[in-house]
Structure 1
Amino acid sequence: MKKIYTIFALSAASVAFSQIQKVEPAFWWKGMKNPELQILVYGKNIAGNDIELSDGIKVKNIQKVENPNYVFLTVNTSEINVPKFKINIKNKNKIIDSYPYELKQRNANSAGRKGFSSSDVIYLVVPDRFANGNPKNDSQPDVFEKADRNFDGGRHGGDLQGIIQNLDYIKELGATTFWSTPLTEDNEKTYSYHGYASSDLYKIDSRFGTNEDFFRLSDELHKRDMKLIMDFVPNHWGLHHWMIQDLPSKDWIHYWNDGEKGFKRSNYRQAAHFDPNASKSDIEGCVNGWFDTTMPDMNDSNPLVVNYLVQNAIWWTEAANLDGIRVDTYPYNNREGVTQWTKRVMNEYPGFNIVGETLMHSPAHIAYWQKDSKVGAIEGFNSYLPSVMDFPLHDIMATAVNESKEEWDKGLVRVYDVLTNDFLYPDINNLLILVGNHDVNRINDAFKGDIGKYKLVLSMIATMRGIPQIYYGDEIGMQGSKTVGDGDIRRDFPGGWKDDKQNAFTESGRTGVQKDYFDFTKKLLNWRKNKPVIHTGKTKHFAPENNVYVYFRYNEKESVMVVINNNEKEQSLDLKRFAESLSNIKKGKDIISGKELTLQNSLTIPSKTSMVIELK
């Protein structure tokens, strides 16, 4: 990367006059809590000229960097009394270029927006594989990779229009919040469909649509009383990001003197952040290493980098009216840098929600990253990150349900054991819980298409503490194995393309098995919508016996009894064991079967079956 920087810097220095090629952010808003705005102005040798603003507006600071193609202007927006002004580039007192900058009027309730919460269910899609609503944008002249649906690792054509056309399907399922893997431009030559190697953080990839299409998606979701989460990647950008191709400074990214062309892969040892015995080299190997060959690692100990990322997140939140952000590879960032990023975004939106991808396998390791963590407090650290992802729960779910015979540490005891660690988390309701996403084996692949096991897992995910997240296609039994490849766990949704033989987005287009999956999911998730006892109630659970797990969700007004029978045989439960939670309750209704139940001496539950009982 040092070589790339030098070449571009030399070519830029040879240009006598500048011309503005990019301004980021392209516009901003009045009325932000933090009135300071840093504007990046980019053009050939632009730093060799004078810069001033029209209308007598003062520039608080002009910061130049090693590369003369960049200038960073800081202004105080509270002191600007015009909606539009010009950024003028002058050479010998002559204006040679200008950019019209706009300060928009901020929505009145923007700062008070409420983020997603445990009252929601999140539906996650890989947009390239969900639905192709506009085949005309499948291949575009401004990006390298063209559509090839025959290649598992290629672009298949799914887009924003396809998502918008199928929002009613997602709403019918019972999901309330939509999360897509990154939609910003990823201009890598191959494997660009996943979006995690962004080449422009302010632009929606043209193969997905336009910025306006993304804003329209937000509007359409809000019309349906649904929420929007944007996937954000501060840890790494793509090799073809325009700023990576012409680095502002050598320390904009991490590059290694002992690596090939500056590249050295991360050691992925995220626990080195808080390991009291960690070597300095292990910490640097995680934080400074590149996630992959096409993903340069951003130096988020550089204040300019952090400020750029903060403003980018705020810009999308305002422009697209976001309800939340999901942060990719959270622990791979410089800890102080990503904490500053999180704190500054949350200061702007106190009721917002940000969930960090914490793909670690110990509850203590996950708890460390949540705001006000007791674990982090041991060393005086607070992440200010409201929500984290409960991967320890994810890790054992498939294994637990696949073990029909209970042993001391097998079967549903695995689930029970994970939940006994809940004391570690400062906000247990703000854990994102999942059994599948775009990086792991599909849950139905682990179950080999056994819908009974899927129903057991979904019954737990829909009734436990936290925020359930569903991965697209799981609700119709889609399978896929990571051992085959990432493309296999990110298959095209059947019916998303006009030439598909079936359309699982419609009831008539689903097979009998797909209908069984969908209807069960729909029943549980729609029931959950109006159940505060599930959203914020307390949990009392009883250690599994005979591979039957019983727990209660309760508050002052209501109580729900959940029974999960993972045994291959029918089980009869002695209800005296649960007297402290059943009290004088004698009746209930199982919302899955619809049956009214008498709860006096015993309860019989068929093999491999779940019950979600509203107690009366």
Structure 2
Amino acid sequence: MNTELHPLIQRIEPPFWFSGMHNPELQLLFYGNNIAQCQITIPNSSAITNVKRTENPNFIFVTIDTQKIAANEIDFIFKQKDKTTFIQKYELRTRRKGASLRKSFDSSDTIYLLMPDRFANGNKNNDNDKFTTEKYNRDLPGGRHGGDIEGIIQHLDYIHSLGITTIWSTPLCEDNDAEYSYHGYGQSDVYKIDPRYGTNEDYTRLASEIHQRDMKLVMDYVTNHWGLQHWMVKDLPTADWIHQFENYTETNHKRSTISDPNASEIDRNTCIKGWFVPSMPDLNIVNPLVFNYLVQNAIWWIEYANLDGLRIDTYNYSEPQYISKWTKAITNEYPDFNLVGEITMRNQGLLSYWQKDSPIGKIQNFNSNLPSVMDFALLDAFQILFDEDDGSWDRGVTRVYDIIARDFLFPNANNLLIFAENHDSKRFNQIYNNDIRKYKMAMCMLATLRGIPQLYYGSEIGMSGDQHLGDADIRKDFPGGWEDDENNAFNPETRSECQNAYFDFTSKLFHWRKTNDAVHFGKTTHYIPEHNVYVYFRYNLLKSVMVIINNNPENQEISTLRFKENIGDYKTGKDVLTNEMYNLENAIVIEGKSALILELE
């Protein structure tokens, strides 16, 4: 049930909570005109552990110990100076069985990243909303195009048919910016799904539908900033709720200043406290009220929507000691929960600094507590290497070899998120002029290298887009997601021959990946590339997979003698895509610009 608000209270956040949490303390925000003038009690007065009033009389923060609350409903008694009293009821819900030990995503999964506004319009009735500023305009490349949660639900079977096990959607909470609100990163209400996407109930239905297909849902969460139109930014609880400056100050984006022992204080502070862009105020996570608010908001969504993981946007733009403490608060509640942070750094030492238990971080007595980071070093390699035919000392597939060779920097390289593109990068198929051979090589590597592979919506049908034309061009509408689309790529009968070639290959590859735990959690042995050919093995005690990536435009004959330490007693290898058998005692001939994945037998 949702408790109705008393007329003098405009908001309560969290709107309800859950009993039996690891951390029994709950910080409640009550918002209303001059609400801070009220005295607040509850029947069990000892359960209130703190009442915090700020310089803004419209806010009052009340902390309670939920362990001391026996009922599933709390009566908050508000008494005003004129002795008028009223009662506001507050609900404590029962958690799902086993909620704290929920299974999260890991390297056995393949993640599908989609932008909901650009994926499919399942409900045209919510294209516009009277309370949100930007209106539907599909003719505007950077406008609202009408994609929504219902559109995702209607095409879950399509996503599942790709061999996908996990869906990551860019933010779905309300973003009330006047323009470019479709990406969702300038949120204006973090307890409410944007009405142009649907309702909170629609989001929980999405999670349920995903789980019915034995898939998982990852929420894109933003700790660093909100949008300028956030209701609380318009009426700040405290002046230091966000970082403020005498003159507008933008982050310098130089995140290396955080770990740099030689960095100046002004550069470090500007990096952490500067605003991401003028429309995104920077949250001050050091403020205890802000910190608790962000912890509880994330936990509320995990419990309410039954989430399976979080992707944290701009993770290392926040004060490191506090974002690590925020992460620890989440994993204290959910010990098996995976969170992957957006760390847009290309140097692997700097990337490693941000993964939990990093040996690099330990040098500075720092632990991010963040289980997974996004492997941007590998992304950069993928976006250039397949056009490098010469394969000299540090080019071509050697770029990937050198990256994997530095896995010792990571405490858990197998929990890195690996990808060839995303919503902020150049489109892979655009870079390589829709050369499907290069797409196949990249996907074979994503499917077999250590880490958690992530695909970007539409690439599996050959979608491209030119980032030089603006971000909207790399975030085009999925063909068939709108009733009047001429091409419906969701349906094999209406896909083009080219789209089916991309889709069929991708589907077969990632369905196979689900069956082989050697590429999920196995070890890696790789060999120095020769003639722009990279050979590596993924293996465990029971299985072994041999991968050959020929980035040379010419056919290559590969002698197997060099790989005897991994081939061992195996006699044959079965091509996982064609079922063709290879005799491992003979040389293997592989076509130019192609990949071969062999299950050894």
Interval containing the TM-score (normalised by the shorter chain): over 0.9
Displacement of 1:86: 2.2
Displacement of 1:89: 2.1
Q: Tell me which residue corresponds to 2:271.
A: 286
Q: Tell me which residue corresponds to 1:528.
A: 513
User: Within 1, Cα distance between the matches of 2:87 and 2:31?
Assistant: 12
* 1:343 maps onto 2:328 in alignment: yes
User: Within 1, Cα distance between the matches of 2:449 and 2:215?
Assistant: 21
Displacement of 1:58: 3.7
* 1:115 maps onto 2:100 in alignment: no
User: Within 2, Cα distance between the matches of 1:316 and 1:18?
Assistant: 26
The answer to whether the 8 A contact 1:49-1:90 is kept is yes
The answer to whether the 8 A contact 1:89-1:96 is kept is yes
The answer to whether the 8 A contact 1:572-1:602 is kept is yes
- Of 563, 571, 586, the residue aligned with 1:578 is 563
* TM alignment of 1:465-544, pairs within 5 A: 465-544=450-529
| Structure 1: runs of 5 or more not aligned | 1-16
User: Within 1, Cα distance between the matches of 2:151 and 2:174?
Assistant: 18
- Of 129, 135, 138, the residue aligned with 2:124 is 135
User: Within 2, Cα distance between the matches of 1:586 and 1:83?
Assistant: 64
- Of 414, 422, 428, the residue aligned with 2:413 is 428
The answer to whether the 8 A contact 1:20-1:98 is kept is no
- Of 371, 377, 382, the residue aligned with 1:397 is 382
Q: Tell me which residue corresponds to 2:3.
A: none
Displacement of 1:593: 2.4
- Of 168, 171, 177, the residue aligned with 1:182 is 171
RMSD: 1.2
3-state DSSP of counterpart to 1:298: coil
Q: Tell me which residue corresponds to 2:292.
A: 307
| Structure 2: runs of 5 or more not aligned | 1-5
User: Within 2, Cα distance between the matches of 1:304 and 1:58?
Assistant: 19
The answer to whether the 8 A contact 1:19-1:97 is kept is no
Amino acid at match of 1:168: D
- Of 307, 312, 315, the residue aligned with 1:330 is 315
Displacement of 1:60: 1.5
- Please give the per-residue CA displacement for 1:370-406, whole angstroms capped at 9, x wherever unaligned: 0000000011101100010000000111211111121
- Of 20, 35, 59, the residue aligned with 1:46 is 35
User: Within 2, Cα distance between the matches of 1:279 and 1:479?
Assistant: 42
* 1:172 maps onto 2:161 in alignment: yes
Q: Tell me which residue corresponds to 1:230.
A: 219
- Please give the per-residue CA displacement for 1:210-249, whole angstroms capped at 9, x wherever unaligned: 0000000000000000000001001000001000000001
Displacement of 1:95: 4.2
Q: Tell me which residue corresponds to 2:354.
A: 369
The answer to whether the 8 A contact 2:47-2:66 is kept is no
Displacement of 1:98: 3.4
* 1:459 maps onto 2:444 in alignment: yes
Amino acid at match of 1:286: C
The answer to whether the 8 A contact 1:112-1:351 is kept is yes
Cα distance change of structure 1 residues 56 and 303 upon mapping to structure 2, 3 Å threshold: closer
Displacement of 1:408: 1.3
The answer to whether the 8 A contact 2:37-2:81 is kept is no
3-state DSSP of counterpart to 2:10: strand
Amino acid at match of 1:177: T
User: After alignment, is 490-499 or 474-483 more displaced?
Assistant: 474-483
User: Within 1, Cα distance between the matches of 2:501 and 2:554?
Assistant: 22
- Please give the per-residue CA displacement for 1:293-352, whole angstroms capped at 9, x wherever unaligned: 100000111111010000000000000000000000011011111111100010000000
Displacement of 1:277: 1.2
* TM alignment of 1:169-318, pairs within 5 A: 169-257=158-246, 259=247, 263-318=248-303
3-state DSSP of counterpart to 1:244: coil
- Please give the per-residue CA displacement for 1:517-568, whole angstroms capped at 9, x wherever unaligned: 0011001100000211000000000011111110000111010000011111
Amino acid at match of 1:139: N
Amino acid at match of 2:195: S
The answer to whether the 8 A contact 1:20-1:97 is kept is no
- Please give the per-residue CA displacement for 1:467-487, whole angstroms capped at 9, x wherever unaligned: 000000010110012211010
3-state DSSP of counterpart to 2:300: helix
User: After alignment, is 50-59 or 314-323 more displaced?
Assistant: 50-59
Q: Tell me which residue corresponds to 1:12.
A: none
Amino acid at match of 1:457: A
- Please give the per-residue CA displacement for 1:470-515, whole angstroms capped at 9, x wherever unaligned: 0000101100122110100000000000000011011111111110
Amino acid at match of 1:233: V
User: After alignment, is 226-235 or 94-103 more displaced?
Assistant: 94-103
User: Within 2, Cα distance between the matches of 1:122 and 1:496?
Assistant: 20
3-state DSSP of counterpart to 2:219: strand
Identity of aligned residues (%): 52
Amino acid at match of 1:268: H
Displacement of 1:459: 0.4
Displacement of 1:54: 4.3
Displacement of 1:431: 0.3
3-state DSSP of counterpart to 1:60: strand
3-state DSSP of counterpart to 1:410: coil
